[in-house]
Every structure is written in C-alpha cells, then in structure tokens.
Amino acid sequence: MTRPGNIAAVFFDLDGTLIEHTRDIHDLCHESFAVFADELPPISEDKFWETFWQKNHDTWYMMVDGVLPGEVARLYSFVNTLRALKADDHLAGPMLEDWEGRIIAATRLFDDALPTIDQLRSAGLRLGIVTNGYRAMQSRKIRHHGLATQVDIVLISEEAGVHKPDKAIFDLALAEAGVLAQQAFFVGDTPSTDIEGARNAGLHAVLMDPRQTWVEFQADGVPTIRRLEELLPLLGPS
C-alpha cells in the first residue's frame, strides 16, 4: 500500500474499535462478587452492583472534573460502595484488582486490527490511540494487547487532562503527530464522543460499528465500517 492522498495520520479509539469486549458484563460481575461473597455482609449481589455503578459514576466524574486523581477515583468506587453497605472497606483494593483483571482478560483484538495497522504503517502514516478512561486501566489494556509498539502516539484522557468529545484532546493528538486536522482520520465506535468530537476538531471521522449498534446514526460525510480493513479504501488510492 502506498501513501494515500494528503492523509498523514490515523487515530483510533481503543475499546470497541481496536479491541472488543467478549463477555457479558453481568457474567463478570457475578464471578467477581463470588470471589468475595464470604467476606461480605449478607447483602445481595444485585444490591452490591447497583450501589457500585452509582459510586463508580460519581468517582469517574470527580476524576473528569479534576477533583480526584484516577488512582483514587478507581479505588474509591469500591471503598464508597463497601462503606455504603457497611462492609469491610479493606476489600476495596483486592476487589478493584480482581474486577479490572477480569475486564482485561475478556478483551481481544479485532482479528484485522494488526494487519490493518501494518498496512497503514507501510504507507508511512502516523498512527495513534486516543481513548477516554483511567490511565492505569487503559495502559494495561494497551500493554496486554501489544499495541504500544504498533502506534506512534497514545493519549489517555486522564493523562491528557481532557476527555473526548472535547476538541482539545484531538488537538493534542494532531500536535503530537505534527499534522493538520484535514490530514487526519479518526476511527471510533461511539457517535457522541468519537465521531462528533473528531468532526468538531476538523478531522475526517469513520464510525466503527461491527454489530450495527448505530443503524439509526446518520451524519453527512461519515462512513460506517464493520471491520477495520474496510478503512483502507476510504483513505485514498492504494
């Protein structure tokens, strides 16, 4: 593949774009709860996770707003859950590690991710990952799948201090790649954060929708792909 047109860089979202989550979240919740059930007071699994998701939502936005660093926010999703349920909050660290480990183990690269990246690299394009999330968690996923050596730029929203769809995180990616917005593609699986954010920053956007989740999403000039290899013809002549 030769270098296409005036395109100089391609940026990817991580979750749902380069890697897929292969297991139902409810199954992971059940398995993780079961590990610690004997050490918890007589509360139901449903009550635990109902409480956790609310606390997790709260601490995530405290990190986004700069109130808490990510390391504290991740841990206190569990600390605050356990305290609310009058359980031993010393379980928070082990529960966090078990939970995140299960999530990472349940991810895998899309089968055409590395071949597509290889072709883009052979065309001389700058490549990057721009992902929302906690630094520790997203870094573990990237390392687990060997992606750090496959791209030139990795921007994790906690580290960057700004989160998609904010234009600033796309501007940071462009600056690190040394390219203009009109010279870059962004590929992501979520219309609100990935597609609208990239377009507002002036990048070309491509929606990755392997399971046709967003069949009702329509935006002028935004192509939809179900496999990453479908991106290649969109970049220009090969």
| 65 and 177 co-located in one domain | no
| 89 and 138 co-located in one domain | no
| 34 and 152 co-located in one domain | no
Query: What pTM, to 2 d.p., does this model score?
Result: 0.94
| 89 and 203 co-located in one domain | no
| 84 and 197 co-located in one domain | no
Tell me the pLDDT of the chain averaged across its residues.
94
Could you report the per-residue pLDDT of 15-58, keeping only the tens digit for each? 999 999 999 999 999 999 999 999 998 999 999 999 999 999 99
Q: What is the CATH number of the domain that holds 217?
A: 3.40.50.1000
User: What is the total count of domains within the chain?
Assistant: 2
Lowest mean pLDDT among 59-63, 136-140, 162-166, 231-235: 231-235
- Are residues 189 and 19 in contact, defined by beta-carbon separation less than 8 angstroms? no
Q: Which domain holds residue 207?
A: 9-21+108-235
| 87 and 149 co-located in one domain | no
| 62 and 175 co-located in one domain | no
Q: Confirm whether 3 is domain-assigned.
A: no
| 123 and 169 co-located in one domain | yes
Given a cut of 90, is residue 237 above it in pLDDT? no
| 48 and 80 co-located in one domain | yes
Q: Confirm whether 79 is domain-assigned.
A: yes
Given a cut of 50, is residue 63 above it in pLDDT? yes
Given a cut of 50, is residue 153 above it in pLDDT? yes
Given a cut of 90, is residue 154 above it in pLDDT? yes
CA-CA distance, 39 to 24, in Å (whole number)?
A: 25
| 206 and 113 co-located in one domain | yes
Report the share of the chain in percent with pLDDT over 70.
97
Q: Confirm whether 1 is domain-assigned.
A: no
Report the share of the chain in percent with pLDDT over 90.
91
Per-residue confidence band for 2, with pLDDT thresholds at 50, 70 and 90:
very low
| 203 and 87 co-located in one domain | no
| 178 and 206 co-located in one domain | yes
